[in-house]
Structures are given as structure tokens and as C-alpha cells.
Amino acid sequence: MATAGVEAFQKDDYTVAVDKLERAYKMLPVPSIGLWLARALAKQGRLVEAAERYTEVGRLPVSSGDTAVQESAKKDAATELDALTP
């Protein structure tokens, strides 16, 4: 599900991306999926929701999956949140 969401994002189909990533994130709330979801929300102009998701990603524990990928996602979320909020 998350992979399909990222693929939709990369094809600029943000509606499908948000749908798939939301469902994936509900099943597995990890930083990497949350980061892609926040990006898709931002692309849709849903900036408040994107900011909330970026913030949430920064608070998530790194307890499953590839630790390096999850830590990188948390750092990217913080950087993107700073860029989103002037």
C-alpha cells in the first residue's frame, strides 16, 4: 500500500497518494510512510495537515523497519517542516 502511494506521488497523482499513504500509515505508523504522506498533503495544498504530519513523524519512535531509513525520514521531516512554516 505504501509503495503504491509513493508511486502515485511520483506520478503527481496526489489524491491517490494521500489515500494509499493514509491507509498504510494507519496500519503501520512509521516515519518513512508518514513523511511521504506529509509530502503528498503539502502537494495538495493541505499545509496545516502536512505540518501536523511532519511534526508527528518527528515524534515517532524508530522501532520497526530499517533504522537508518526511519531516522533519515525523521530528519527529512524536520527539514521539510522548517521549509513549510516560514
Mean pLDDT for the stretch of residues 3-18 = 97
pLDDT band at 85 (very low <50, low <70, confident <90, very high): confident
pLDDT in tens, 34-66: 999 999 999 999 999 999 999 999 999 887 668
pLDDT band at 23 (very low <50, low <70, confident <90, very high): very high
> What is the per-residue pLDDT for 63?
74
> What is the per-residue pLDDT for 7?
97
Nearest by Cα to 82 from 37, 51, 41: 51
